[in-house]
Amino acid sequence: MSNRITVRVGAAVADAAPELWGLFIEDLNDALDGGLNAELVRNGDFEFDPSERDDFHHLTGWTTEGAVEVRTASPLHPNNRHHASLSGPAAVANSGWDGIRATAGERLRLSLFARATAPTRLTVTIGPGLASTELDVAPGEWRRLEADLTPTATASGELRIAVPAGADADLDAVSLRPLGEDGEPLQFRPDLLQALKDLAPSFVRFPGGCLAHGYGLANLYHWKDTIGPRWKRVQTRNIWAYHQSRQIGYTEYFELCEALGATAIPIVAAGVCCQNSPGGQHAIAESQMDDYIQDVLDLIEFANGGPETRWGAKRAEYGHPEPYGLRHLGVGNEDEITDDFRDRYARIEDAVREAHPEITVIGTSGPATHGPDFEAGWPYARERGTAIVDEHGYHSPRWLHQNLDRYAAYDPEGPQVYLGEYAGCTSRVRSALAEAAYMIGMERNPGVVRLASYAPLLARVGHSQWTPDLIYFTADEVRRSASYYVQRAFGAERGERVRAVELEGAAPSTRPVPETVPAHVRAPRATVAFNDIVVDGRAIPDAVAVPGDDGVALAEIDPSAVDIEFTAIRRAGSDGFELRLGSDDPLGSVRLHLGMSQGRDTVVFRRDDGIDDWLSTRRRPEWSDGEPVRVRVRLDGPRLQVWIDGNLHHDLEQDLRPEQRVVAGALSRGGTGGTEYVVRLVNAEDTEKTVRIELGHDPGAVAADVELLAGAGPDDGAFFEASPVLPVRVAVEGEDGIDLVLPPWSFASAVLRPAA
- Residue numbers at the binding site for ligand AHR (CB under 6 A): 26, 28, 208-210, 333-334, 367, 421, 455-456, 466
Q: Are 415 and 638 in contact (CB under 8 A)?
A: no
Nearest distance, CB of residue 421 and ligand AHR, angstroms: 5
| Strand pairing report for 589-595 and 601-608 | antiparallel
Are 112 and 171 a contacting pair, CB within 8 Å? yes
- Return the residue nearest ligand AHR (CB atom): 209
Strand partners, 509: 659
Q: What is the DSSP string of 608-668?
A: ETTEEEEEEEEE-SPP-TT-EEEEEEEEETTEEEEEETTEEEEEEE-----B--EEEEEEE
Give 24 or 113: the residue with its C-beta nearer to ligand AHR: 24
Strand bridging mode 416-423 / 388-394: parallel
CB of 456 to ligand AHR, least distance (A): 4
Cis peptide upstream of residue 518 (ω within 30 degrees of 0): no
Active-site option among 26, 252, 334, 493: 334
Question: Would you tell me the crossing angle of helices 310-317 and 286-304 to the nearest 10 degrees?
Answer: 50
In angstroms, rounded to a whole number, what is the distance separating the alpha carbons of residues 425 and 441?
A: 18
The least CB distance from residue 333 to ligand AHR, in Å, is 5
- 334 catalytic per annotation: yes
CA distances from 552 to 20, 520, 524, 581, 607 (A): 48, 6, 12, 12, 19
CB nearer ligand AHR, residue 278 or residue 319: 278
Q: Are 443 and 667 in contact (CB under 8 A)?
A: yes
Give least dist CB 453 to ligand AHR, A. 10
402 close to 430: Cβ distance less than 8 angstroms: no
Nearest one of 554, 541, 545 to 524, comparing CA atoms: 545
Query: From the CB of 420, what's the least distance to ligand AHR, in Å?
Result: 8
Q: Which is nearer to ligand AHR, 31 or 663 (CB)?
A: 31
Q: In the chain, what's the furthest Cα-to-Cα distance?
A: 89
Any idea what DSSP says for residue 33? I
Query: Between 68 and 457, whose beta carbon lies closer to ligand AHR?
Result: 457
We find the least distance from the C-beta atom of residue 301 to ligand AHR, in angstroms, to be 27
Minimum CB–partner distance for residue 359 and ligand AHR (Å) = 22
Residue 302 or 484 having the CB closest to ligand AHR: 484
Q: Which is nearer to ligand AHR, 39 or 469 (CB)?
A: 469
* 11 class by beta-carbon count within 10 Å (0-12 exposed, 13-18 middle, 19+ buried): exposed
Nearer to ligand AHR, 185 or 209 (CB): 209
In three-state form (DSSP H/G/I as H, E/B as E, the rest C), the secondary structure along 237-291 is EECCCEEECCCCCHHHHHHHHHHHCCEEEEEECCCECCCCCCCCCCECCHHHHHH
- SS3 state at 679: strand
Nearer to ligand AHR, 195 or 458 (CB): 458
Distance CA(48)–CA(82), nearest Å, equals 9
In the complex, the smallest distance separating the C-beta of residue 17 from ligand AHR, rounded to whole angstroms, is 22
Catalytic positions: 334
